[in-house]
Structure formats: C-alpha cells, structure tokens
Chain A
Amino acid sequence: MNFDFSDDQKFLKNEARKFLEAQCPTSRVRKVLDEDAKSFDEDLWKAVGEQGWLGAAIPEQYNGLGLGRLELCVIAEELGRAVAPIPFASTVYFLAEAVMLAGSEEQKAYLLPRIAAGEVIGAMAVSEGPGVTSASTLQATVEGGTLNGVKLPVTDGDIANVALVLAKENGKPGLFIADLTDASVTRDALKTLDPTRDAARLTFKDAPVRRLGEAGQGFELLEQINDRAAVLLAFEQCGGADRCLEMAKSYALERYAFGRVIGSYQAIKHKLADIYVKNELARSNAYYGAWALNTDAPELPVAASAARIAGSEAYWFASKENIQTHGGIGFTWEMDCHLHYRRSRQLSLVAGAPRVWKERLVSQLERRNAAA
C-alpha cells in the first residue's frame, strides 16, 4: 500500500508553498480584490510560468515538463491555500487537459507549447444564464465554422485569449475552440462573489471556431474534462480549507473572552474538530481522485465526483466557521477570512454546483448496482 505522494512530490509541494508565501501573500491577493482595473496578478502569473507549473503535466514534446498529474495536484493544493489570483485552473486544469484529452495533433502542437510558455490564458465558456446548462437549454450555435451566442459567466473570460465554448452544431452539442482576440468577440467584465478571480460575459458574432473532439460529443467530452478539473480543483479546496482551519486555530489560541482563550471552550474546540474531520475526508477523497486521474482509471468519474463533493463541503464549512470563530473582526473587509469564503464559492460553482455532482455520482452508483 502506497497511498501517498512520493518524496519528490512532497518536495515540490514544499517548494511551491515557499514560493507562494514569498510571491503571493494575501496583500498581493488584496490588490486584485481592491482594484477594479486589476483582474488578475500578472506578475504572479509570469512567475508561475517561469517555475514551469503551467506545463507541469504537458509532455516534453510540447515543451512541457512532462511530469504526471500528481505533481499538478500538489501545486493545486498550494495555489488554493494561497488564494492565488491567477487563471491557473482555467488554463491548466481545463484548457490544457481538454486539448491533451481530445485535441487533434495540430491543436496540440499549436496550443500546448503556448500554454507551457505562458502565452495562452484559457477559459471555459459553458454557462449561458441562471441554472444548469443542458442540451435543452443550450442556445449558442455553430454554423459553417462560425459561432453565435452569449456565454456568462466565463471565468477568466476578460483576460483569456483562447476559450472552449459549448455550442450546438447541426442541433448537436459540441465543444469549440475560439480565439478571443478576434474582433468578432465582445467581452464585458462581470462583478462576482469572488473579485480575486476574473469573469466576463462573452458575446460571439460570427466568430471563427474549430471543433475539439468528435461532433455531437460536447456534453460527454465536457464531463470528461470536468472530471479531470474536479480532482485538481478538489486539491485547491483542500489547501484553502486547511488554511482556514489554521487561521481559526491560531485566532482561537490568542483571543481572550471571559478571562480565557476562546480555544479552551468546547463550543469552539468541537467546531474546529468538525472542520478537521471534514478536511481529512476531503483530502482522502482527493487522494483517490488523484490516483484515478493519474492512472486514467475507469473509476475516475466516481472518484472525481466524490473528491469534488467532499472538497466543496469541506471548504465551504471551513470558510464560514472560520469567520464565526473570529467573531466580529472576521466580518471586516480587512481580515482575510472573506477571501476564503469568496473563493470557496468560486471553486464550488466553477465546474458545476455540488448538487449536480451528487446527482451524477448517484446515477453512476445506480448503474453499478444494477449491473452487479
């Protein structure tokens, strides 16, 4: 039994933490939060690129580092812990993974080296309005190689230059690669719960696109991409949730009320124990997801669902109870608690809300049960 990361991977995680503690203190995150004109931390993005992280899982033939997904998992955890204000997930977990999964040789050769070099910022353009996007609600259409439609919210849509767009072609859903720098694309920045991450409304008017993968396979492909991203996002969630527990613990040990530190009251102790338990369950599920992702196991859809559900629950719980542990000061803009509360919402919604994943998980368990 070797259900753990290797020493090399742990070393990488440790290096990533040190790097982000120096390059991404919350004062840097707050610059993106507070300045309307700033939609991500460009210097950090550049520095992360120089570390090779953007191409960590991209094969060497496309100028990546050719490491596995497990290396990406440990980096993701540290980015989540640091609440990093960069389009890493959109570019690496979604776009790069999608291209590696379903891209033609030409698409791979064009996009992957550019992603590794930090020249491409990616975006996933799926949602078109309130509620779950499905084949019956999907409006965007592709005809004769051009796309028309409106997508919102698109995470990193205002800063990305390449988007993966879900649209119908001949009535069948497909995924399409769009160049967002083209004049046919209009972008409007959106205000969101998490201003440390960019988001936009994208309007496509006869925008030239190229299909990714098979025709009519849009939702199937999207599910596979989401499974991969979900595991990596779960590591970000674990990193954030653990950081919340640390913040809550350290405040509970220094704050006095009624003549003693609040961490000596069972109401607080049991609350923090509950956070710990949820975080460990999330971590164990994320590890299994990491194994499934790295080995491309048939268990991936179920493992990714479990990792996403547990990660979303843990980060949500830890981020809200961290504020509660801090009391009034935790509700101020100046305290960092709300950075995590905001990011926990962003991470839970970006690849579909937890209830969508729960439904997906149970459907798969049902099929497994029926087959048994």
Chain B
Amino acid sequence: MDFKDTPEEAAYRQQVREWLAANAPKKREGDPDPLGESSDGLAASKAWQAKKAAAGYACITWPKEWGGQGGNPIQQVIFGQEESAFPTPGNPFQIGLGMCVPTVMTFADEDTKKRFVGPAIRGEEIWCQLFSEPSGGSDVAGARTRAERAPDGSGDWIINGQKVWTTGAQFSDFGIVICRTNPDAPKHKGMTMFWIDMKDPGVEVRPIHQMSGGSGFNEVFFTDLRVKDSQRLGAVDDGWRVSLVTLMNERLAVGGASGAGWSAFLESARQTPGLDGGAAIKDQALREKLADWYVQAEGLKHTRNRTMTALSKGETPGPESSIGKIISAVQMQELANSAVEMLDQYGIINDPSLAPLRGAFQASLMSAPGMRIAGGTDEILRNIIAERVLGLPGDIRVDKDVAFKDLPTGR
C-alpha cells in the first residue's frame, strides 16, 4: 500500500510534465468557468484544446486513428492531475468529447464520423447533450419532444418541442437530441436519437435565470427543425438504448461538488468572533461539525485513490466511486450554511466587498441546491446505489407497458 506511481506511470507523468512545462499557459486568460455566462474564455479554451489535440493529449484513451493516444484511463487521470497545476482555460469540450462524440462514433456512418470527430477533438466545434425536458429530468425516458417524418416523402424528420438544463447550448455548434417518434409504443420503445446543427434557424437557445442569479444552463426550443434521416443515430425507436451508451460514457466525467470546503471554514472560524468574544473556532458545536466534514472529505479523497488504484491495475473501478456527489453536494450546502450562521447577523451580507472570502460561502449556499439535483438527484443516486450496487429490486413501474400517449401526465 503506497501512493507511488508504477515505473510506467512515473515515466508517463514525467513526459506529461515536460510537455506541459513547454506548452501550457503560464497565466489565466478569459473566464475560468467554461459554463459561465460570458464566452470570453472560449478563444483561449479552443486554442489550448488544439494544442493538446496536436500532441495526442486531448483524448488520451481514444484510438490513435481518431486523434487519441491509445492510452489507458490512469494516463488520463495523470494528465488531469498535472494539467490542474497550470492556469489552463476552462474546458467546454467535456460533454461533447465525453458523451456526444462517443455516441456519434458508435452509431453514425463512416462519413459522419470523419466529418465530426477531428473538429471536436481539436476544439473547433463544441457539442451539447439535449436530454432533459421540462416534463422529465430524472425520468429521461419521459421525453416529449416530437420527431415526425416530413410529409413530403423525403425521409427527413421534423422536430418540435423543448429541452431544458442544456449545459453550453449557447456556444455549441452541434448537439445530440432524444425525441419521441412513436407515442403509441411504451415510453422506452418509442424514442429516436439524432444529431442536430445548433445554428439552424429551427433552434432557439434561451439562458435560464437560476435561483443563484447566474445563467450556466439553457432552454432549447425546436420549431419545425428539419433534419436528414442520415442524422439519425441508431435505429428508429431505439433511442433509449443509444442514450444508455451516452450516459455510460458519463461515468468518468462524474465529479464532486466543489466550493468552499472544510479548510476555508476552519480559516474563517479562526478569524470570526464567537460566543463570549473568543474566536468562533472555540465553539464546540462548530468543532464537531468541522471534524465530520473533514472526515467525509478525506473519505471521498481516499475513495478516489481506491478508484485510481483499480484503474492503475487495469481493473474497472468498483461501485464505491458512485458515492461522491451524494456526500459532497449535501456537505457543500450544510457547510456553507454553518459558515453563514457563524457570522451571525452579518451572514446575510453577500456583497463580495464586505463578506468574508469575497462571499464564497454565500455563493456556495445559493448554488448548492443545484448541485443536489444536477447529474442525478440525491434520490436518484440512492436508487442507483440500491439497485446497481446492492442489487435491490427496481421500483414497481406503472409506465412500462403502457403506450406513451396514454400515460398520466398530471396536466
């Protein structure tokens, strides 16, 4: 048991370090948040992605013929670790390269693959994933966006409907969209996947004004969007199976919630007056909470080390890697709230010029509710652990063998 690289890993890390030292930016340009409102950072992000692609570091685990390095997952992790030491611009390509493009590579014809894979890996084109709808976030198979054959006999499809919570739609060039093609079939059996051009006049992107005040996500409306049958990914009405391939590729992209953590809390508690004029850190109730948060954070850190170990041995990581967001999102919310309450009456102020840590805890407090929902709600993640890890039965479903059009919708 140790934390050392194998000789092969150490050699790879050294090679990565040398390349990064020669090529990575030395100071940050543009908006560090790739999903932020501004697209200032986009040019810098694209330039950095092109450099990585030219050296084979953009998609390390992809085959060489598709612009990858034919590497293994641990090399991907090593590159990520080393890259994080540099002030690199944000990465708006993750969803495309992690989920959309692999789906295209699995289901599209050769010409389509040749057309899209290169520009995506070089960062010239950005992709988004259009799954969630106003009627279903957790229930992806409840999609209502319709795709119908054009009445002119061309074989084209006409798409109408709305998607929501689409990350990066505002600067995406292409997207993959799951649509209802057969409402007479049960929900999982009447959907079809397409790739679409986000710049088509039939597509309208509107930013969502989040409760936190920001606008990282979008609504996407389709009005008589016409797509070729050759843009179909997988068979007609087989879109659910295609979406599982997309989501399977999501697993390595699973991240924890970030934000101000236990060490920021400790620092803040040392500097904030508490009961009886001493520092707040003397408050036993806060000390116990701090201990619990530290132990959770360490638990997650070392769970990631266990996952990395499995990757390093060429094994598939065990189910323990699924626990991250359940813990980190709730902790982010509770820790932020305790930090705000620690400030007593002053805690209500979120003006960055007045609030400690430029209002980081207040900002965390307001974005935490989204963390507990995005990428699988707390409840859906518990279902996943119960069913896929522990092997407990799935919920009894009332929507499985009923025609989609006959399902109760509540309105």
Query: A-side interface residues toward B, CB under 8 Å?
Result: 1-6, 70, 245, 249, 252-253, 260-261, 263-264, 266, 268-270, 272-274, 276-277, 280-285, 287-288, 290-291, 294-295, 305-306, 309-310, 313, 355, 357-359, 361-362, 365-366, 369-370
Contact = CB atoms under 8 A, between A and B. Distances in A.
B172 interface: no
Contact of B306 (A284, A309, A358): A284
Nearest to B286: A362
B390 to A, nearest CB: 6
B306 A4 contact: yes
B299 A362 contact: no
Contacts of B381: 273
Contact of B295 (A245, A269, A281): A281
Contact of A281 (B2, B291, B299, B386): B299
A4 B2 CA distance: 8
Nearest to A275: B390
B270 A369 contact: yes
Of the candidates B303, B327, B386, the one having the most CB atoms from chain A within 10 angstroms of its own CB is: B386
B291 A358 contact: yes
Given A1-B3, A270-B379, A280-B303, A285 B386 contact: no
B193 to A, nearest CB: 30
Contacts of B323: 276-277, 280-281
Contacts of A361: 291, 294-295
A366 B309 contact: no
A364 B327 CA distance: 24
A238 B228 CA distance: 56
B296 to A, nearest CB: 6
B294 A2 contact: no
The main secondary structure of chain A at its interface with chain B is helix
15 contacts: A2-B3, A2-B309, A3-B3, A70-B1, A263-B392, A264-B394, A269-B386, A272-B386, A276-B389, A285-B298, A287-B302, A291-B1, A309-B292, A361-B294, A362-B291
B395 A266 contact: yes
Interface in B102-143: none
A313 B294 CA distance: 14
Nearest to B394: A264
B390 A362 contact: no
A2 B5 CA distance: 8
Contacts of B299: 280-282, 284-285, 306, 310
A277 B326 contact: yes
Interface string B375-395: 000010111011101111111
Given A285-B295, A285-B302, A310-B299, A1 B396 contact: no
Interface residues of B, number: 54
B286 to A, nearest CB: 9
Given A369-B263, A369-B267, A269 B3 contact: no
A80 B309 CA distance: 25
Of the candidates A3, A260, A261, A290, the one having the most CB atoms from chain B within 10 angstroms of its own CB is: A3
A276 B385 contact: yes
Nearest to A277: B323
Contacts of A309: 291-292, 295
A244 to B, nearest CB: 13
Interface string B255-266: 000000011001
B305 interface: yes
A271 B301 CA distance: 23
B253 to A, nearest CB: 20
Contacts of B387: 269
B382 A2 contact: no
Given A266-B383, A277-B327, A369 B390 contact: no
A3 B306 contact: yes
A253 B394 CA distance: 12
Given A2-B309, A263-B392, A272-B392, A288 B385 contact: no
Contact of B390 (A70, A273, A295, A366): A273
B1 A366 contact: no
B302 A365 contact: no
Interface string B286-324: 011011101110111111011011101000000010010
A2 B3 CA distance: 6
Of the candidates A70, A273, A370, the one having the most CB atoms from chain B within 10 angstroms of its own CB is: A273
Contacts of B288: 355, 358
Contact of B294 (A266, A280, A282, A365): A365
Nearest to B308: A1
Given A4-B306, A264-B392, A276-B390, A288 B298 contact: yes
B4 interface: yes
Nearest to B298: A306
A365 B290 contact: yes
B43 to A, nearest CB: 36
